[in-house]
Amino acid sequence: MAAKIQDIDDTPSLPMTGAAYLPGVAYDEMIAQGGDVRAHYAALQSRISTLGASELADRQRMLERSFLLQGITFTVYGADSATERIIPTDLFPRILPAQEWAKIEAGLTQRLQALNMFLADIYGEQQILMDGVVPRELVLGAPSYRREMQNLYVPHKAYANVCGSDLIRGQDGEFAVLEDNLRVPSGVSYMLANRDASKRTFPGAYREAGVRPVERYPDLLLATLKSMSADWRPNPQVVVLTPGVYNSAYYEHAYLARLMGVPLVEGRDLVVHDNMVYMRTTTGLRRVDVIYRRVDDDFIDPLTFRRDSSLGAAGLFNAYRAGNVVMCNAPGTGVADDKAVYAFVPDIIRYYLGEDAILPNIETFLCREPAQLSHVLDNLDKLVVKAVGASGGYGMLVGPHASAKERSEFADALKADPANYIAQPTIQLSTAPCLVDGRIEPRHVDLRPFILSGEKTVVTPGALTRVALKRGSLVVNSSQGGGSKDTWVLAEENGHNGNGHAEKGVAS
Amino acid sequence: MMLARVADSLYWLGRYIERAEHLSRLSTVMLNATLDQTDTGAEAVRIALSAVGETELSAGAFEAAKGLVLDRSDANSVVSSLSRARENARQVRDQITTETWERLNLLYLKVIDRNAGRDFADNSVTFLHDIIADVHLFKGAADTTMSHGESWRFMMVGMYLERAQLIASLLEACFAEGAPKVNDHLALVSLLRMGCALEPYLRVYTAEIEPRHILEFMVFDEDFPRSIRFATSQIEKHLSELARHVEATGRAAPERLAGRLKARLEFADVGELESQGAGELLTTVANECARIHQAIYETFVAYPLEMRLPA
């Protein structure tokens, strides 16, 4: 087939055969062990193999151009000026078959349900601490624990209304949860933008695969936010609170506000008077009922939290306490995604729901435990060590890829403040085909699906797949040079719209 | 109902867009006029530069035009205006349609491109022509895709207020007391071109190009979109619509100020202009526009909170 293409097209083709695309030891999303294309990738694979290198490069350029034009960018501050760049985006979607997704969906729903019960408990009776399931000092001593939230009523006990959990697929092909993001997770706009792009890039393969839509996310988000408002306010005014244009996720904030049809406010637009929150409009002050805040806890209210913050509004927290406004996510949810608490999530699920976790955790060593610390120190070259409170790929050591000097520096930091660190085995994240420098190559990926939780809990059938674009790199964070790609969740097995040809696409 | 800050950004978005278009046009006309071997070229350069407040005519026409267009250190250049327009648009990205945003973003990417300087040098007329055409696409996208509600109206007020002021200073450069008299036919044609007025003017007055008619046309014409009167009546119209929603109107309601200016232009006559000179009227226009701007702020954007708190 490859030769045939070459006759038509002068440029070398990029056949997606086992010979040209060589997955490494990790689980590959497209090619099974033995070199066969997995059934759910068949439609896409056959489409790609008819396209030459220049055609693919053109489509990639078109995709990047479209992101630049739409302003889907983040700001890089250089020596003399700030420039905007797009987040590297790969044109090949990552595909998940229906039954795999069903398990992910069930697992995430279960997990968020348990985490919300956990939050309600630790900000209430603290039964789980009294029963000794999670160490008291781990929770109450966590920097993200907010004493101010104690005994505060939260509708539906939904503390984390928007959650983005990071899943990875290990060498055995099973998904596991790497971390939960319950504070102000971002990336959902990339999920939606990537989808628009891949519909344009591979319309035929998209239609043939039978992909579940993600477009409903904004209206489901709005419904979730509205469900959090006091029911005596019939038509609640929802707003999105952003730190402003200089925030790296500003594009997303504006995007969600626009698609929900609600105002995008900054702290300086808000006024708190008599424990009510208002926004300054052209026609005077207007009451605000629900704030989807994309500002961290520390910055929402200078009277309650950081005094030097101008991103929130003075008095906001008191208005929240008084029940006159709702903040989503609730302040203090970060305590449930603390990397040390993470180790206890399977126990938390068992404690509240009496079930085993559907999605397993990654084995985690708590450095606060002396025995585990010494194990970690002995095996630094095999482990990934992370600071408990940090996120975005900062404060982290990837043992196998670090130099001896970096490891010994990290060891000192560990010994100085062991409670601040956890360690996990280095996992070979699964790989997916990506277009890199004109070649199709396997790159490590993770998966961030988005879960909404208010009156109901919903998982959007799609996700942001993050890609480590550097060869061999396992770090997918966009702040660390990672990129992203679209994720297709198939409606039915093998990706055919139930037309009875399911087996046809299987290359074997 | 919209956020006060958002109204402010939309208003400035309109102003900057208009400014970018106007400056691009001044530069085009200036460069074209200097192609011919006449003294008219120098006159066109003088008009254009004094219309934007520059009195020194040190550099040549090309350098002057390049400065007006691409000088990032000049807050009023085309590139600065477009950057600011886009920055304001980014602030209100949730209020303007994707179509509108994309037109502006495309234009912005074009003028900040590292090759912009070379493209301008290679073929400035095409470069400027494209900017103006892109601004028209932006305005068309805004007109046809945005809801003609509050957001759009604030943008329109900004656009027309800026236009009234720009045309007023263009005319001041030629007709104010003390300004050098422009009698040369080609220079007058350049003036009309700078106001994008040549073709519409010809349809009304034919090719008899006279200073008196130019003033009459660019100040008083009812239908010409770049006449001061037209711009003023648009400002008044949009402000009246916007004011309907504001319960507590300030002392200097902006729509009343605009209405007053509009009436003044409707009832003024050209004979008066001839005997007394246009300078006084043009100064009035500039001052009134500044007052309207101030009143817009007091009414919609920077009003004192005490007045608006619920009882």
Q: Could you tell me which chain A residue has the CA closest to the CA of B72?
A: A81
> Looking at the predicted structure, is the pLDDT value of residue A427 above 90?
no
Residue A386: φ, ψ to 5°:
-130, 145
CA distance A465 to A166: 9
- CB A112 within 8 Å of CB A348: no
Shortest CB distance from B246 goes to which of A254, A271, A282?
A282
pLDDT at B93 over 50: yes
Q: How many Cβ pairs within 8 Å bridge chains A and B? A: 78
Which pLDDT belongs to residue A127? 97
A254 contact residues in B (CB cutoff 8 A): 90, 93-94
A112 near A161, Cβ under 8 Å? no
DSSP string, A326-352: EEESPTTGGGGS-HHHHTTHHHHHHHH
Contact B94/A245, CB-based, under 8 Å? no
- Which residues in chain B have Cβ-Cβ distances shorter than 8 Å to A265? 3
Q: Do A71 and B245 touch (CB under 8 A)?
A: no
Which residue's structure tokens are 């482990």?
A: A383
- Which of A69, A273, A281 is facing B3, going by the closest CB pair? A281
Which of B94, B146, B306 has the highest number of chain A CBs within 10 A, making it the mutation to test binding with A?
B94
Sort out which chain B residues have CB atoms less than 8 A from A268's CB and list them: 5
Spatial distance between the Cα atoms of A42 and A66, rounded to a whole number of angstroms? 27
State how far residue A239 is from chain B, nearest Cα, in angstroms: 11
Task: Measure in Å the smallest separation between the Cα of A50 and chain B Cα atoms.
Answer: 32
**With an 8 Å Cβ cutoff, is A401 touching chain B?**
no
Contact (Cβ atoms closer than 8 angstroms) between residue B216 and residue B264: no
Q: Which of B87, B154, B245 shows the shortest C-beta gap to A283?
A: B245
> How high is the pLDDT of residue A479?
62
B242 and A281 within 8 Å at the Cβ level: the answer is no
**Which neighbouring-strand residues pair with A384?**
A398, A424
Angle subtended by helix axes B185-194 and B198-205, to nearest 10: 120
Q: Which residues on B lie below 8 Å from A68 (Cβ)?
A: 109
Phi, psi angle pair for A86, to nearest 5°: -85, 155
Inter-chain residue contact A283 with B301, CB threshold 8 Å:
no
The pLDDT, as a whole number, for residue A304 is 79
d(C-alpha A27, C-alpha A33), whole Å: 8
Which tens digit of pLDDT belongs to each residue from A224-265?
999 999 777 788 999 999 999 888 889 999 999 999 999 999
For CA atoms B73, B79, B83, B84, the dihedral sign is positive
Could you tell me if A254 and B94 are in contact, meaning their C-beta atoms sit under 8 angstroms apart? Answer: yes
- A82 to chain B, any CB pair closer than 8 A? The answer is no
Over residues B225-240, mean pLDDT? 96
What's the Cα-to-Cα distance from A95 to each of A168, A196, A465, A489, rounded to whole Å? 14, 16, 10, 6
Q: Which of residues 275-304 of A touch B (CB under 8 A)?
A: 276, 279-286
| pLDDT band at B226; cut points 50, 70, 90 | very high
Cβ proximity of A49 and A187 under 8 Å: no
B31-40 mean pLDDT: 83
Nearest residue of chain A to residue B245 (CA atoms):
A283
Of residues A305 and B200, the one with the higher pLDDT is: B200
Contact between A353 and A143 under an 8 Å Cβ cutoff? The reply is no
Cβ-nearest to A264 among B94, B242, B300: B94
Could you tell me if A139 and A336 are in contact, meaning their C-beta atoms sit under 8 angstroms apart? no
Interatomic CA distance for residues B73 and B64, integer angstroms: 14
Q: How far A17 CA sits from the closest chain B CA (Å)? A: 39
- Residues in B closer than 8 angstroms to A273, CB to CB, are 309-310
B251, pLDDT greater than 70: no
pLDDT tens, position by position, A466-499:
999 888 777 777 666 689 999 999 998 654 444 4
With CB atoms and an 8 Å threshold, state whether A263 touches B2.
yes
Question: Please, are residues A243 and A294 in contact by the beta-carbon 8 Å criterion?
Answer: yes
Average pLDDT over residues A274-283: 94
Query: Which residues in chain A are contacts of B101 at CB distance < 8 A?
Result: 70-71
Which of B2, B90, B154 is the closest to A71 by Cβ? B90
Q: Are B34 and B41 in contact (CB under 8 A)?
A: yes
- Which of B91, B93, B301 best probes binding to A when mutated, by most A CB atoms within 10 angstroms? B93
Q: What are the CA-CA distances from residue A391 to residues A76, A185, A353 (Å)?
A: 19, 11, 28
Among partner residues B1, B5, B247, which is closest to A268 by beta-carbon distance? Answer: B5
The whole-number pLDDT of residue B227 equals 97
Q: Cβ of A284 and B308 within 8 Å?
A: yes
CA distance B31 to chain A (A): 31
- In three-state secondary structure terms, A170 is coil
A248's tokens: 């790296």
Rounded to a whole number of angstroms, the distance from the CA of B12 to the nearest CA of chain A is 15
Single out the residue of B170, B102, B96 nearest to residue B137, CA to CA: B102
Which amino acid would we find at residue A145?
Answer: Y
Contact A154, A225 (CB under 8 A): no
Q: Which two tokens stand for residue A353?
A: 């729901």
**Which amino acid is present at B287?**
N
**Cα distance from A309 to chain B (closest Cα, Å)?**
19
Please determine, for residue B231, whether its predicted confidence score (pLDDT) is greater than 90. yes
**Quick one: closest CA in B to A265, which residue?**
B3
Q: Are the beta carbons of B196 and B22 closer than 8 angstroms? A: no
**Residues A264, B5: C-beta atoms closer than 8 Å:** no
Q: Distance (Å, rounded) from C-alpha A229 to C-alpha A213?
A: 28
A314 touches chain B (CB under 8 A): no
Q: A93 Cβ partners below 8 Å, 6+ apart?
A: A44, A194, A198, A202, A206, A485, A486, A487, A488
CB interface of A with B, residues 141-170, below 8 Å: none
- Lowest-confidence pick of A172-181, B49-58, B115-124, B153-162: B49-58
Distance CA B12, CA A165 (A): 41
Residue A78 to chain B, least CA–CA distance (Å):
16
Can you say whether residue A281 is alpha, beta or left, with left for phi > 0 and alpha for psi between -120 and 50 degrees?
beta
How many whole angstroms separate alpha carbon B175 and alpha carbon B280?
10
Widest CA span in chain A: 76
Which among B3, B247, B301 has the least Cβ separation from residue A265?
B3
Q: Does the pLDDT value for residue A15 go beyond 70? A: no
* Count of helices and strands (H, E) across chain A: 15, 23
Give the tokens for residue B202: 């010809």
Mean pLDDT calculated for residue range A155-173: 95
Q: Is the pLDDT of residue B116 over 80?
A: yes
Nearest alpha carbon to residue A295 among A268, A335, A261: A268
Span A397-425, pLDDT tens digits: 888 888 888 888 888 888 888 888 899 99
> Which residues on A lie below 8 Å from B246 (Cβ)?
282-284
Specify the range with the lowest mean pLDDT, choosing from B39-48, B90-99, B113-122, B247-256: B247-256
Would you call B5 and A280 a contact, using CB atoms and an 8 Å cutoff? Answer: yes
Query: For B246, which of A254, A258, A283 is closest by C-beta distance?
Result: A283
Does residue A214 have a pLDDT over 80?
yes
Burial of A116 (0-12, 13-18, 19+ CB in 10 A): buried
**pLDDT number for residue B180:** 86
Query: Do the Cβ atoms of B2 and A271 come within 8 Å?
Result: no
Residues A113-138: pLDDT tens digits?
A: 999 999 999 999 999 999 999 999 99
3-class DSSP state of A453: strand
Q: A484 to each of A47, A214, A300, A463, B8, how far by Cα in Å? A: 21, 16, 30, 10, 35
pLDDT at res. A77: 64
Strand blocks (E) in A31-88: 73-77, 82-86
Whether B151 shows a pLDDT value over 80: the answer reads: yes
Q: Which of A271, A277, A281, A287 to mutate to test the interface with B (most CBs of B within 10 A)?
A: A281
Cα–Cα nearest to B219, from B241, B190, B191: B191
Residue of B nearest to A258 (CA): B94
Contacts of A172 (CB under 8 A, 6+ apart): A27
Amino acid identity, residue A46? S
What local confidence, expressed as pLDDT, does residue A506 receive?
A: 37
User: Cβ(A223)–Cβ(A454) under 8 Å?
Assistant: yes
Q: What confidence tier does B306 reach under pLDDT thresholds 50, 70, 90? A: confident
- Mutation site, A86, A259, A283, interface B, largest B CB count within 10 A: A283
Q: In this structure, are residues A268 and B99 in contact, taking their beta carbons and an 8 Å threshold?
A: no
On average, the pLDDT of chain A sits at 87
Which is nearest to B191 in space by CA: B163, B164, B210? B210
Please judge whether B3 and A273 are an interchain contact, meaning their C-beta atoms are less than 8 angstroms apart: no
C-alpha–C-alpha distance, residues A385 and A422, integer Å:
6
Which residues fall within 8 angstroms of residue A43, CB to CB, at 6 or more apart? Answer: A205, A208, A209, A495, A496, A505
pLDDT of residue A481: 67
Q: Nearest C-alpha of chain B: how many angstroms from A273?
A: 8
CB contact A71 to B (< 8 Å): yes
Rounded CA gap, B23 and B5, in Å? 27
Above 60 in pLDDT, residue B214? yes
Q: Closest to A273 (Cβ–Cβ): which among B90, B102, B309?
A: B309
B100-106 — which CB contacts under 8 Å span 24+ positions?
B100/B138, B100/B141, B100/B142, B100/B145, B100/B146, B101/A70, B101/A71, B102/A69, B102/A70, B102/B141, B103/B134, B103/B137, B103/B138, B103/B141, B104/B17, B104/B138, B105/A69, B105/A70, B105/A71, B106/A69, B106/B134
* Residue from the list B5, B150, B309 with its beta carbon closest to the beta carbon of A285: B309
CB hemisphere CA count around A148 (13 angstroms): 20
User: What is the layout of strands, in order, in the sheet containing A270-273?
Assistant: A270-273, A276-281, A284-287
Are residues B171 and B219 in contact, defined by beta-carbon separation less than 8 angstroms? yes
**Model confidence pLDDT, tens digit, residues A24-68:** 889 999 999 888 999 999 888 888 888 888 889 999 999 998 898
Give the pLDDT confidence score for residue A478 in this predicted structure: 65
Q: Is the pLDDT of residue B304 over 80?
A: yes
With a cut of 70, say whether residue B5 has pLDDT above it: yes
Collapsing DSSP to helix, strand or coil, A465 comes out as: strand
pLDDT band at A108 (very low <50, low <70, confident <90, very high): very high
**Half-sphere CA count of B38, side-chain side, radius 13 A:** 14
Size (chain A), residues: 508
The pLDDT of residue B268:
81
